[in-house]
Structure 1
């Protein structure tokens, strides 16, 4: 059975929403994302909903809030949510005075799960989603928060590569339901009604399944979606993921795919914004390399994209990292896109990025110092928490 049919059958049985006649546009850089997002926010007539892990307090966020304030003055409903931990871990966080100023301009902005004593209670189940819905017609998701470094990069790691998508069509209503569910739960409001669900019945020819991981209800859906995709692959699997320390179920399906002759290619970054992660990732991919996978170490900055392409038939773009944090704890949202042209566009990007990569080989591994190998082994012990 073709891999896309296998995955669609799984989604149907798992009650994952599948919609047809969507239009999907890839936004392959921070510049592309923000130009597109700002342009569509300017055209908003009724509401703008934003859910991000964090808004960095910098020039792009300030420009966004200025624009949102203009729309609020026009009578557009503006609701924004960010994760308390995501804000705290950000070295340019939104502080109380910033939030007071934003709210004074007509924007509703709330923290998801604010820190209260005992603080350890807030360690798990962070909201790592990135969702925007405009007028119920246009949706966005992907790997990017709101920060200058998606355009300018960071001194310590260079350019920041990332991926986002613009969606029109019935799949936007699935993103809207996700946003409104967590908004209403957090604020105790009751925002609902047809006015928030105005997506076109037919905007294109693309089938999209929105996979949403919600702790305590849909706990394994994201890892199962990845595992079924890899298990069903007949020809090739290509993955780009920034914090590649996969759970046992993903490792097992990758091993099975390699053993039956499926070509598995994985691209990870040589640098990361989180210490020890590159070493832990190298420890994992080295084992996959020895089994037969092709591993690329990206040297053109930090590749933060979370994408996978299977059999040139379908792909996924979203917020989930292939680590325990995303697959076992956090709120995450991925779009699985059943479209050969979109998948081909991602494959072409993958091929272009190989030019900025070093392939992991036995010779490369031998040249690594004993200390770096030890760091990778040691960091691997913490895989269940990374």
Structure 2
């Protein structure tokens, strides 16, 4: 026990946290010791900032949070706003068009005839695919087999088989990698593939792995011949760019087989490690043309992160198989002015006709998304949302629960997954269309993180999603208005208070 405590206290997490707290303390002391005229200027500036926020087109919930901070802490709140609001990450990490310095219409061409056929089949879903194409530059594909995995164990078993088949390259990009049975089994194959001449590359996020990998793990992987980039390395400096994390979970094998979804590479995701009961997660496996978009997502990120300008076409296998349905992989960046991930979800919600089912670990919707969910329910759509019963973060779960009353009062059915923790980020509409990806229904995913996912229509994966939702609802408890009314006054006040800062969670 003592050894574990000492190891924790000497970890990078504690060291960086302590240095950040020290800087915050020094900043507060400096502001407190400013000349009265400077404090007065900051207070007046705060009033102008509040007026600007009230009249801006920014997300209303984010604006309200900053207004509260500025009004609670006059002067200091203005300084925080100037330091951390409306700041962009370094120029290299911008929109898809800028990141790889390429023409997306050339690298990711769209088959227009196929889109016209889709429009004739279903005009509503066609518009959703059109939005992603025009706003994100990601094409729609037809010749791709898509399989759905309702738990991490299924994806893990598939991964081991497909990795063994790799002949040219393996590209992995994950938020979390944890040493253990899952990752070590994969690593054994990756090391063997490097020896066979396969190009193996890995991108992992520094914040996501700060407690799961040694600080020198990059060097360890490189010693095996694996190419590695650690995304946005944490530094003990108060910088807004430290908030932008690579939350994507993507993998491409020879450009023929790819994976997307919410499953990271750690034992909890395959229920070897039980942290919060049964870990319910999901992913999709793609085989065919659409894997090219996943490959390009990785390569354009790799090019910018490593300062290279590697050509993409040599990695295109032009691999096609016959399969039913349509799929459109996409990636969302926090550094452009298009909230692609959020808009895809909003578009999906307002186009549901009969039913809309959602799985999400965190239910922290913006004001706009709340309105769309309520509007869908009031328009006769059967809206059901499944969230965890056992949370991984108590404060986030309390904000999630603070939304129950409003949703239930407007006909939306809320379920909590009693076996444990839901980590899936899935949307299903009418048994025909679905979204699987890494994007949570919260502000961090929509505005701060790099995310990935796929919009699907009538693929085989949709049938799997339908069955999974039915089974998951059966394994969950429905939250009623009576359950909400039993909440203690203290808990209600706590949830309302935490809700004020939901945009920062």
TM-score, normalised by the number of residues in structure 1: 0.94
Match of 1:353 in 2: 472
- Higher alpha-carbon deviation: 36-45 or 187-196: 187-196
Is 1:69 aligned with 2:180?
Answer: no
For residue 12 of structure 1, report the CA deviation from its aligned partner.
4.3
- Asked if the contact 1:153/1:160 (under 8 Å) is kept, the reply is no
Match of 1:105 in 2: 224
**1:136–1:376 CA distance, 2 compared to 1 (3 A):** same
**1:255–1:112 CA distance, 2 compared to 1 (3 A):** same
CA distance in 1, matches of 2:143, 2:265: 29
Runs of 4 or more off by more than 4 Å in structure 1?
Answer: 153-156
Match of 1:92 in 2: 212
- Higher alpha-carbon deviation: 239-248 or 12-21: 12-21
- SS of the aligned residue for 2:208 comes to helix
Match of 1:57 in 2: 179
Which consecutive unaligned segments of at least 5 residues does structure 1 have? none
CA distance in 2, matches of 1:6, 1:313: 15
- Give CA deviations for 1:90-139 in whole Å, capped at 9, x if unaligned: x322321x332221111111101112352434432210000000011111
Match of 1:8 in 2: 129
- Higher alpha-carbon deviation: 237-246 or 256-265: 256-265
- Asked if the contact 1:223/1:249 (under 8 Å) is kept, the reply is no
Is 1:39 aligned with 2:161?
Answer: yes
Match of 2:370 in 1: 251
CA distance in 2, matches of 1:330, 1:203: 34
- Give CA deviations for 1:71-99 in whole Å, capped at 9, x if unaligned: 101111100010111112xx322321x33
- Asked if the contact 1:22/1:204 (under 8 Å) is kept, the reply is yes
Match of 2:152 in 1: 30
For residue 284 of structure 1, report the CA deviation from its aligned partner.
1.4
CA distance in 2, matches of 1:298, 1:8: 31
For residue 211 of structure 1, report the CA deviation from its aligned partner.
2.5
- Asked if the contact 1:139/1:166 (under 8 Å) is kept, the reply is yes
For residue 223 of structure 1, report the CA deviation from its aligned partner.
0.8
CA distance in 2, matches of 1:340, 1:74: 35
Is 1:305 aligned with 2:305?
Answer: no
In the TM superposition, 1:281-292 aligns within 5 A as: 281-292=400-411
In the TM superposition, 1:1-386 aligns within 5 A as: 3-14=124-135, 15-88=137-210, 91-96=211-216, 98-116=217-235, 118-152=237-271, 154-217=273-336, 219-339=338-458, 341-386=460-505
For residue 9 of structure 1, report the CA deviation from its aligned partner.
3.7
**1:2–1:362 CA distance, 2 compared to 1 (3 A):** farther
CA distance in 2, matches of 1:143, 1:156: 17
For residue 153 of structure 1, report the CA deviation from its aligned partner.
5.6
Quick check: which one's strand share is greater? 1
**1:340–1:45 CA distance, 2 compared to 1 (3 A):** closer
- Asked if the contact 2:377/2:410 (under 8 Å) is kept, the reply is yes
- Asked if the contact 2:138/2:293 (under 8 Å) is kept, the reply is no
- SS of the aligned residue for 1:129 comes to coil
For residue 254 of structure 1, report the CA deviation from its aligned partner.
0.8
Quick check: which one's helix share is greater? 2
- Give CA deviations for 1:294-317 in whole Å, capped at 9, x if unaligned: 111111110100000012220000
- SS of the aligned residue for 1:364 comes to helix
- Higher alpha-carbon deviation: 360-369 or 303-312: 360-369
For residue 156 of structure 1, report the CA deviation from its aligned partner.
4.4
Larger Rg: 2
**1:268–1:8 CA distance, 2 compared to 1 (3 A):** same
CA distance in 2, matches of 1:252, 1:17: 29
- SS of the aligned residue for 1:19 comes to coil
CA RMSD of aligned residues (A): 1.8
**1:48–1:155 CA distance, 2 compared to 1 (3 A):** closer
- SS of the aligned residue for 1:378 comes to helix
CA distance in 1, matches of 2:257, 2:238: 37
- SS of the aligned residue for 1:160 comes to strand
TM-score, normalised by the number of residues in structure 2: 0.73
- Higher alpha-carbon deviation: 181-190 or 306-315: 181-190
- Asked if the contact 2:299/2:312 (under 8 Å) is kept, the reply is no
For residue 2 of structure 1, report the CA deviation from its aligned partner.
5.3
CA distance in 1, matches of 2:140, 2:301: 21
CA distance in 1, matches of 2:448, 2:392: 20
